């Protein structure tokens, strides 16, 4: 998978010889990193998914490849760290250090950890990473100290790769339709960073503090940082980010019969032809699902009740609707993409309303905000039939929700292809 990602970003197959050395060297670096990671497990070390904020301080993380970008060029020379990190050395010393007789071992171990914490080293295991995680530190397959800055950076890398994407990404003699495989990894290059950024919303900076150590007490992510995170997520689902270049959309014919359909492809809805709308649907669905995660919504409600200066779940819905349903684009293709995103937003809001595991406050507020949205779209003047049809559909769904929420069964957004490097 790593090789596919690299070839999608900067693969260059040409008649004079394949320029793939950098991608292959990156893959070898990944194997070296993974080998050290597995040795760590044999020594008793668990995963640490917070090493990204400490310059990749642990080989026990699941890092994303570090793709540098400068002046429109991409560079994989530092894709993966070599050797072990600071946290790994602390962990080994904690578990294996033999102290001389008469040493207060407990005091020495406490000092070892407090020194590590004072240097900013963190530990957050597998349970802290996930789509509903409150921790902006912990996520799978990410890099960077600041989740927002890193998401914007990855979107820039993605744009460079998409703008330069072409038939040179596959070998001579391969079906042109096989361009879809490297396109998937390039188009969804930012997918895992979305999760880290979403964790700022209703997020909590926390450590596994014990009484008497130097670690800080839990702190809710400040309002301005939560808003920055939401803005970055909303940019990722804008038509400007979702649209594929014209030249790329016109490049791929249907797949020939001997070229198998696999789980690594976009789940199209157009039959034999490549479906760029389905690609956009998968990318937008990833972000919207994270924004509207039930646990995140519950934290937004509770944190806002503690401090009205923090964004509440209602504020997030307002901003989400403004950026989607209440935004009109002059470009017809962009507007079609916008309607696609609008539907995805509606789907996940409805699922939240129906979710009996979510707090009633969250479900009630979500339905109320949909009613407010319906009032606003009723005031929009347009002759666009597709737009009018979507507004009418919203009203119909609200009527059904009022009468029998369980009867509302919308078509789920297309699921993204599998994309984890391992």
CB 74, CB 67: distance < 8 Å = yes
Instruction: Compute the distance between CA of residue 214 and CA of residue 191 in angstroms, rounded to an integer.
Output: 35
End-to-end CA distance of the chain: 7
Does the structure show a pLDDT above 80 at 20?
Answer: no
pLDDT band at 17 (very low <50, low <70, confident <90, very high): low
pLDDT in tens, 357-415: 999 999 999 999 999 999 999 999 899 999 999 999 999 999 999 999 999 999 999 99
To 5 degrees, how large is the angle CA 83–CA 137–CA 205? 140
Spatial separation of the C-alpha atoms in residues 245 and 162, rounded to whole Å = 7
Q: Between helices 360-377 and 385-403, what is the axis angle to 10°?
A: 140
What is the percent of the chain where pLDDT is above 70?
Answer: 99
Is residue 132's pLDDT more than 70? yes
pLDDT digit string (tens) for 268-308? 999 999 999 999 999 999 999 999 999 999 999 999 999 99
Q: What is the pLDDT of residues 95-123, one digit of tens each?
A: 999 999 999 999 999 999 999 999 999 99
The secondary structure of 142-177 as a DSSP string is: B--SSHHHHHHHHHHHHHHHHHT-SGGGS-TTS-GG
What pLDDT score was predicted for residue 312?
A: 98
φ and ψ at 220, to 5 degrees? -65, 140
Using one digit for the tens of pLDDT, what is the confidence trace for 247-260?
898 899 999 999 98
pLDDT at 16: 72
Identify whether the C-beta of residue 156 lies closer than 8 Å to the C-beta of residue 232.
no
Q: pLDDT class for 2, splitting at 50, 70, 90?
A: confident
Binned at pLDDT 50, 70 and 90, residue 25 comes out as: confident
Residue range 178-200: mean pLDDT, rounded: 96
Q: What Cα–Cα distance (Å) separates residue 369 from each residue in 90, 198, 304, 362, 363?
A: 49, 21, 17, 11, 10
User: CA dist 10 to 130, 143, 163, Å?
Assistant: 29, 20, 11
> Could you tell me if 342 and 328 are in contact, meaning their C-beta atoms sit under 8 angstroms apart?
no
pLDDT at 18 over 90: no
Whether residue 275 contacts residue 177, with contact meaning beta carbons closer than 8 Å, is answered with no
Q: Yes or no: say if 283 and 243 are a contact pair by the CB < 8 Å rule.
A: no
Confidence of residue 188 (pLDDT cuts 50, 70, 90): very high
Return the percentage of the chain with pLDDT > 90, whole number: 82
111: Cβ contacts below 8 Å, ≥ 6 apart: none
Query: Measured between alpha carbons, how far is 269 from 252 in angstroms, rounded to an integer?
Result: 16
Mean pLDDT of the chain: 94
Check residue 213 and give its pLDDT. 96
Dihedral angle at the C-alpha atoms of 102, 103, 106, 110, nearest 10 degrees? 170
Residues 300-350 have pLDDT tens digits of: 999 999 999 999 999 999 999 999 999 999 999 999 999 999 999 999 999
Cα 293 to Cα 34, 298, 363, 371: the distances in Å are 31, 9, 12, 20
Provide the β-strand partners of residue 220.
204
Q: Give me the pLDDT at residue 4, please.
A: 83
pLDDT value at position 247?
86
What would the two tokens of residue 252 be? 């791929």
Question: With bands split at pLDDT 50, 70 and 90, how would you rate the model's confidence at 55?
Answer: confident
pTM for this model (two decimals): 0.95
The answer to whether the beta carbons of residues 300 and 358 sit under 8 Å apart is: no
List beta partners, residue 75: 68
For 249, the token pair is: 């959309």
């Amino acid at each position: 998978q790593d090789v596919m990602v690299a070839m999608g970003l900067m693969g260059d197959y040409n008649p004079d010889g394949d320029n793939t050395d950098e991608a292959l060297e990156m893959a070898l670096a990944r194997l070296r990193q993974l080998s050290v990671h597995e040795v760590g497990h044999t020594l008793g070390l668990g995963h640490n998914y917070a090493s990204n904020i400490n310059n990749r301080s642990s080989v026990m993380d699941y890092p994303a490849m570090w793709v540098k970008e400068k002046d429109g060029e991409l560079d994989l020379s530092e894709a993966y760290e070599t050797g072990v990190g600071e946290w790994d050395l602390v962990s080994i010393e904690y578990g294996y250090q033999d102290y001389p007789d008469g040493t207060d071992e407990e005091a020495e171990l406490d000092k070892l950890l407090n020194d590590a914490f004072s240097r900013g080293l963190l530990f957050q295991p597998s349970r802290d990473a996930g789509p509903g995680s409150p921790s902006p530190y912990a996520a799978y397959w990410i890099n960077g100290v600041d989740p927002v800055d890193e998401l914007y950076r990855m979107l820039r890398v993605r744009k460079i790769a998409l703008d330069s994407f072409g038939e040179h990404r596959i070998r001579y003699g391969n079906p042109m339709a096989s361009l879809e495989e490297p396109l998937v990894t390039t188009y969804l290059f930012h997918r895992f960073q979305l999760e880290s950024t979403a964790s700022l919303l209703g997020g909590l900076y926390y450590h596994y503090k014990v009484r008497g150590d130097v670690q800080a007490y839990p702190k809710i992510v400040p309002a301005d940082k939560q808003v920055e995170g939401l803005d970055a997520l909303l940019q990722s689902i804008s038509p400007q980010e979702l649209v594929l270049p014209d030249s790329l959309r016109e490049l791929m014919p249907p797949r020939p019969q001997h070229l198998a359909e696999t789980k690594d492809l976009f789940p199209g809805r157009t039959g034999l032809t490549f479906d760029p709308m389905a690609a956009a649907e998968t990318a937008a669905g990833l972000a919207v699902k994270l924004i509207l995660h039930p646990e995140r919504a519950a934290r937004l409600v509770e944190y806002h009740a503690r401090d009205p200066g923090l964004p509440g779940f209602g504020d997030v819905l307002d901003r989400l609707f403004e950026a989607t349903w209440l935004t009109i684009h002059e470009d017809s293709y962009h507007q079609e993409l916008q309607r696609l995103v609008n539907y995805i937003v509606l789907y996940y809001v409805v699922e939240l309303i129906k979710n009996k595991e979510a707090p009633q406050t969250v479900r009630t507020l979500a339905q109320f905000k949909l009613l407010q949205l319906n009032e606003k779209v009723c005031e929009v003047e347009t002759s666009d039939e597709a737009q009018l049809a979507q507004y009418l559909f919203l009203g119909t769904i609200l009527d059904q929700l009022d009468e029998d929420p369980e009867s509302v069964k919308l078509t789920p957004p297309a699921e993204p292809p599998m994309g984890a490097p391992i």
